[in-house]
Structure 1
Amino acid sequence: MRDGIFALATAPGRAAVAVVRLSGSHVGEALINLAGALPAPRLATLRRLKDADGATIDQALVLWFEGPASYTGEDSAELHLHGGRAVVERVMLRLGELGLRLAEPGEFTRRAFENGKLDLAQAEAVADLVDAETALQAKQALDQLGGALSRRYESWRESLLEALALLEAAVDFPDEDLPEDVAARAHPAMTMLLGELREALADAERGRRVRDGYRIALIGAPNAGKSSLLNALVERDAAIVTAIPGTTRDVVEVPLVLGGYKVLLADTAGVRKTSDEVESEGVRRARRWAEEADLRLWVVDSHGADSAWREARDLVRSTDLLLMNKSDLPGQALELEFEGERIACSTWNSADMDHLRGRLTDRVVDALSGADFPAATRLRHLDSLAEARDALTRALSTKPELIEVMAEEVRLAARALARVTGRIDPEAVLGKVFSSFCIGK
């Protein structure tokens, strides 16, 4: 059993209750010194916690989890303290005196992975669940924690291993009484799996968008009304609005929830040619954010007297939305050629804003909803999928007489999929995965 660790599992600061978690070697001994005796396993017990000189630190609920029947698979405990800072600091100081050390970020979940309580994809789901801001983010994380992602990758890996067994039989036992087409029998399963991997890659961004947020950029010329639209959509003064062109100099990102999904709505600098160094940098950032966005809202002053709207035209795609803004103003509106959907709107008209918010919600739900669990929720999943697809593609294009080469490519594909759950080569990714965790998880 590894060295003992402890951490505050609840948010720091004044609170009604604070929870300190312990795991590893000497936890039982430390608990006896602190609370007098070990309570019955998994039974919350009221105990008086004492300092080295016998002075009472706190009266707390103590829970004892004997390994391996614990979250980490080690001897573990939880102390439910009164949440005053003095009490928490004194308890943690005492635990240090008893030979335990402060845990590193994600160390509890890392130990759970290393002790076989979770695979790597499930461990990542723990962090995603802690970070979830919407119900659908939480649902995706809970499904992944329950093994949905792991089962999908393991099913693909098992299919590859079955194909690999046929190929290796042809390589290792050429003189045995085996069917002549034993290697060829692996091809249908490999071809079917390659199709599934390609479909999964096409859909892979959906899981990442649910986790990180669907990105919508407001783009257009200065004074087209982008900042006013942002404020109207989020129903607060998130961006500064003035009549001075070029007021917005940087990207203003505002999170909101549409259809149960997290969305990042960005107000960007007005796109135009300028000699102002600061504004030029704002335009550059606006273009970069717009190019990487999932959806662009091209905001045009529908009664603009000049052709400033043309400056942002190259950023727009046919799948984006054209917003003919300031539609409440009198006079002839501009006529623009645009293949995609266009909406006339005014930030002063609540019905217009409700309609626009509804159309954005439809777009987000259409993009992020799906019947199947997404094949990737992080970039490393996407990389492993692509690596497996490429290896399997090479295997199927290998000449039949080069069975050893074909088998090696299938083996590489299986290894790529196994890395998602941490079945092989986990050390290369463990530090990156767990460094993003909060202390106490």
Structure 2
Amino acid sequence: MVRFCIRSCSDRPSDLYRSTVFAVSSGHGVSGVAVIRVTGPETSEAVKLMTKSDNLPKPRYASLRKIYQPSTGDLVDKGLILWFPGPNSFTGEDLAEFQVHGGSAVVEGILTSLSEIDGLYPAMAGDFTRRAFENEKLDLTEVEGLADLIHAQTEAQRKQALRQMDGHLSQLYKIWSKTLLKSVADIEATIDFSEDVIEDGILTNVKNSVNKLAKEVRNHLEDGRRGEKLRSGVNVVIAGPPNVGKSSLLNLLCQRPAAIVSPLEGTTRDVVETAVNIGGYPVLFSDTAGIRQSIDPVEKEGIKRAKSKISAADFVLIVHDLSKYKHVDIDGLLESPLRMLNTNVDESTSADFDENIEYLMILNKADLITNNLAVQMKEAFNTKGVNACIISCETGDGIEDFINILSQKMKDICGDPVVGNPSITQARHRFHLREALNSLEIYLRMAHDGFEDHDLVLGAEELRIALRELGRITGNIGTEDILDVIFRDFCIGK
């Protein structure tokens, strides 16, 4: 094993992506079966040496073979070998999989044996997928979709990632690129050839085409960041006065004691975060300090952090103690819950909230009031058109209805990942799309003002810039500076 580690650190070739690499692809730890991948020009020779055979397995068929250590001839294991000759493989080059028993001694024996073969080197994170990109098996959006699929933790995340990996997002951007390319070609023809050769109205057609494309890109950008929220998780803040059951609600949602619960007010001082799957959607809940007037410097800092979290939230659960309302008087709660939170503190911890932040009123401790009063409160809220849930964290009453309402809210925020055009999932996509839209809008302003000969050349350049920005999303143009950032998030062996 020492020899294997030394080679992995010091003997890597300068042109790594022309070499042959290997790695465990099935994850680490003891298992029934381990999968070890090899890809590159020396793969076929490695298979022959490891099996003591001059004959390669039948392509894309599982072949049961004895696997040996080349240097000693000792039997290491008996397992399945799958042979995928390039270019018809995941990486686009020769690739083999060794499916062996998943014990640590067996896996170490296979890796050590492979490291002894000249020309073979341990893979780095993302090596296999990067080779697939380099060999045009995947573009960058499909690569990112694959990475998201590997890291998906909820059903909705899986669906979005699978759709992107299948090329739906890439196809949309390629259609837009094709439209732009045609427009650039028409303008170049207008510039380079005499008017006798060019059809009348060609610039009008280009303007109409660019205007239609600009609207499509603008609509694509105005999506409420649905895809990014689904990929990263929806930020939901649990806020309210002290001792109303915020921490109890968090513990109930994540089914574990994530936050300390105490009858003493001001127990929660810092933000407590935990990720939960709500109806197939990823939600990052933040339990915050109770909001009130305070002279305690530590508590004031906690309140300040709570206000900051609320300001950046995608959705807020405003929790109140229902037992403190002995009669049906909810005007104070309904006037403006977010503004009420904002004014219920001193100046040092105040913050301006966006009144457009969506929220849900949670009236907790229903077990401490009569059923009749709870029904009246519910009807009063419904009359006012306010979303509110009456629950008891102590008994669990109302929790099922609350979860159903919250699940629907998360679906509204993230959207259905399999319906309509695919969503933007990465901040870099949004940046390049904004840059592309800016260039399209500059061209349209030029076209509206009327082109002079020199203006038309500048207009063509703006469309070329937009085309390059779209190309940077899929990886067709100028991607070298971002490749390392994208592929480093992959595990070794993928």
TM-score (normalised: structure 2): 0.83
In the other structure, the counterpart of 1:297 is: 317
Aligned-pair CA distance for 1:120? 0.9
Where does 1:208-287 land on structure 2 (aligned, <5 Å)?
208-272=228-292, 274=294, 276=296, 278-287=298-307
In the other structure, the counterpart of 1:406 is: 459
Aligned-pair CA distance for 1:180? 4.7
CA distance in 2 between partners of 1:339 and 1:435 (Å): 49
Q: Secondary structure at the match of 1:101?
A: strand
CA contact (8 A) 1:218 1:268 kept: yes
CA distance in 1 between partners of 2:224 and 2:106 (Å): 47
Aligned length: 440
Aligned-pair CA distance for 1:122? 0.7
CA distance in 2 between partners of 1:57 and 1:272 (Å): 67
- Structure 2 residue aligned with 1:70, among 89, 95, 99? 89
Matching of residue 18 in structure 1 with residue 34 in structure 2 = yes
Bigger CA drift: 267-276 or 192-201? 267-276
Amino acid paired to 1:416: E
- Structure 2 residue aligned with 1:353, among 385, 399, 403? 399
Unaligned runs of 5+ in 2: 1-16, 326-331, 334-339
Aligned-pair CA distance for 1:419? 1.3
Q: Secondary structure at the match of 2:266?
A: coil
Q: What is the percentage of aligned positions where both structures have the same residue? A: 40
Q: Aligned pair in 2 of structure 1 residues 174, 98: CA closer, same or farther (>3 Å)?
A: same
Deviations along 1:99-121, one digit per CA (max 9) or x if unpaired, are 31111111100000000111111
Where does 1:290-439 land on structure 2 (aligned, <5 Å)?
290-304=310-324, 310-311=344-345, 315=353, 317=355, 319-330=358-369, 340-370=386-416, 371-398=419-446, 399-401=449-451, 402-439=455-492
Amino acid paired to 1:185: N
Aligned-pair CA distance for 1:135? 2.0
Amino acid paired to 1:252: V
CA distance in 2 between partners of 1:256 and 1:223 (Å): 23
Amino acid paired to 1:372: G
Q: Secondary structure at the match of 2:368?
A: coil
Aligned-pair CA distance for 1:167? 2.0
Aligned-pair CA distance for 1:247? 2.0
Deviations along 1:189-208, one digit per CA (max 9) or x if unpaired, are 11111111111001161111
In the other structure, the counterpart of 1:41 is: 59
Amino acid paired to 1:228: S
Amino acid paired to 1:417: L
RMSD: 2.6
CA contact (8 A) 2:307 2:351 kept: no
Aligned-pair CA distance for 1:238? 2.5
Deviations along 1:119-163, one digit per CA (max 9) or x if unpaired, are 111111111111111222111111111110011111111111222
CA distance in 2 between partners of 1:313 and 1:347 (Å): 29
Q: Aligned pair in 2 of structure 1 residues 276, 171: CA closer, same or farther (>3 Å)?
A: farther
CA distance in 2 between partners of 1:257 and 1:373 (Å): 24
Bigger CA drift: 176-185 or 102-111? 176-185
Amino acid paired to 1:325: N
Bigger CA drift: 399-408 or 81-90? 399-408
Amino acid paired to 1:326: K
CA contact (8 A) 2:294 2:300 kept: yes
CA distance in 2 between partners of 1:231 and 1:211 (Å): 24
CA distance in 2 between partners of 1:73 and 1:330 (Å): 67
CA contact (8 A) 1:222 1:272 kept: yes
Matching of residue 8 in structure 1 with residue 54 in structure 2 = no
Q: Aligned pair in 2 of structure 1 residues 408, 303: CA closer, same or farther (>3 Å)?
A: same
Matching of residue 82 in structure 1 with residue 120 in structure 2 = no
In the other structure, the counterpart of 1:91 is: 110
Aligned-pair CA distance for 1:260? 2.1
Unaligned runs of 5+ in 1: none
Amino acid paired to 2:250: L
Q: Aligned pair in 2 of structure 1 residues 133, 299: CA closer, same or farther (>3 Å)?
A: same
Aligned-pair CA distance for 1:269? 2.2
TM-score (normalised: structure 1): 0.92
CA distance in 2 between partners of 1:182 and 1:316 (Å): 47
